[in-house]
Amino acid sequence: MVDSQPGNVSADDFHLIEQSISHHFPLIGFFNGEDGKESYFIVGDYNPQSFQALVSELGEQGLVPYINPAGNYYKINLGKKQEKGKSKIHLNIILLLATICTTLFAGYLLGEGDIWKAIAFSVALLAIIGAHETAHYFAARKHGVHATLPYFIPAPTIIGTFGAVINVKSPIPTRKALFDLGYSGPIAGFIVAIPVLLIGLKLSTLTVSPDAAILFIPPPIMEFLSYITAPTTTPDQMFMDYLTYMVNPTNTSDQTLMLHPVAFAGWVGILVTMLNLMPVAFLDGGHISRSLFGQNLHKIISIIGIMITTILGWYVMAVLMVLIFFMGKSHPGAMDNVAPINRNRKIIAVLMFVILILCLSPAPGSTL
């Protein structure tokens, strides 16, 4: 522990920062990180009202404080306050229109030239993705976090899109806010994907030896919904066929369930939910994990999430996770990483874990 100011801060600025922190907390000292290590102040007590006052005071100096437990004490890191760029609504609209076009084209191909199947696919898929990102947006607004409306991403892929994102333009204030931003999107997308799957499976047909098909092991939630809705002779027979398949995948009947484009959109929505719930880095599951656990444990959980994604055969996504985790900055968590998560959110965390299990699905062609 040292008492000198960091090299990139002037003596006057350091004195003002030190004065602000000591005004709200019993200041014990300052650790000046070197060789890329973080610098932080050590304080002896924590009070949520005092921290909020410090946030406002340092905000006027263009700084953002982050407080974390550090043994019997607490450490306060500082970051620069980012300028809030003006949102470009016209860009949201242009990208949405472009994504409607690309998903319509993808649905047209999936529906073998049927325009109504193309429209149904586009509406179903964009409803799931839109619900996911819009839920993030409203969760951000609930907690006073500045965020943009969803940016849809058109792409020349089998589904016509790379999904959508929102741009969070201000720090997340508390662990509760971070948790809410993390779980809101996946649960909204999952809720919309369920009726989409139910409708799509009802529209699907059984066929014998299709000319071309994407074979995959469906996630547990899709198996359950198939048991309810898929065309078959009797529910008991379908259930027995499923058990036979799980025991011996090579011993299957000649019939194949050909998914309607709407069912395919529902399956994509389930995959999006699964991949986003992986507790890695800055993914939605990573936000949930970081809100519940400290930074070091979050890193370990992130590595486990990458391993599970790799085992399931989603190699491209696993590579992206590795790049985000090892080449990007570590997840800072919320500004206030001390205030506890309440009981209701812990129950929701268990629910999100169950949803993740229900959505687990190996990649098509995977040997798992």
Residue 222 lies in a domain: no
Average pLDDT of span 244-256: 48
Cα separation of 109 and 117, whole Å?
9
Q: Do 299 and 351 fall into the same domain?
A: yes
* Cα 132 to the center of its chain, rounded Å: 9
The mean predicted confidence, pLDDT, of the chain is 84
Is residue 92 very low, low, confident or very high in pLDDT (cuts 50, 70, 90)?
very high
Residue 252 lies in a domain: no
pLDDT for the residue 324: 86
Q: Do 16 and 115 fall into the same domain?
A: no
Average pLDDT of span 315-337: 86
Residue 345 lies in a domain: yes
Q: Do 75 and 98 fall into the same domain?
A: no
Domain span including residue 299 = 89-199+265-359
Per-residue CA distances from 310 to 28, 275, 304 (Å): 45, 11, 10
With a cut of 50, say whether residue 237 has pLDDT above it: no
Residue 297 lies in a domain: yes
Q: Do 282 and 158 fall into the same domain?
A: yes
Residue 115 lies in a domain: yes
Residue 249 lies in a domain: no
Token look-up 């000292």 returns 29
With a cut of 50, say whether residue 5 has pLDDT above it: no
Percentage of residues in the chain with pLDDT exceeding 90?
A: 54
pLDDT for the residue 228: 67
Cα separation of 6 and 4, whole Å?
7
User: What is the count of structural domains for the chain?
Assistant: 2
Is residue 86 very low, low, confident or very high in pLDDT (cuts 50, 70, 90)?
confident
Residues paired with 76 in a beta bridge: 41, 67
pLDDT for the residue 285: 94
Listed residue (184, 181, 182) closest to 192, CA to CA: 184
Higher pLDDT, 5 or 295: 295
Cα separation of 367 and 365, whole Å?
6
Q: Do 281 and 354 fall into the same domain?
A: yes
Q: What is the pLDDT of residues 259-307, one digit of tens each?
A: 889 989 999 999 999 999 999 988 999 999 999 998 889 999 999 999 9
- Looking at this protein, which amino acid is placed at residue 323? L
pLDDT for the residue 137: 96
Least confident of 138-142, 176-180, 236-240, 345-349: 236-240
With a cut of 50, say whether residue 7 has pLDDT above it: no
Higher pLDDT, 110 or 218: 110
Q: Identify the CATH number of the domain in which residue 43 sits.
A: 3.30.70
Helix and strand element counts for the chain (H, E): 12, 8
Average pLDDT of span 209-231: 65
pLDDT for the residue 36: 61
Q: Do 119 and 184 fall into the same domain?
A: yes
Is residue 136 very low, low, confident or very high in pLDDT (cuts 50, 70, 90)?
very high
Residue 298 lies in a domain: yes
Q: Do 121 and 181 fall into the same domain?
A: yes
Q: What angle do CA 1, 73, 30 make, to 5 degrees?
A: 25
Among residues 80, 111, 137, the one where a domain terminates is 80
Q: Do 160 and 116 fall into the same domain?
A: yes
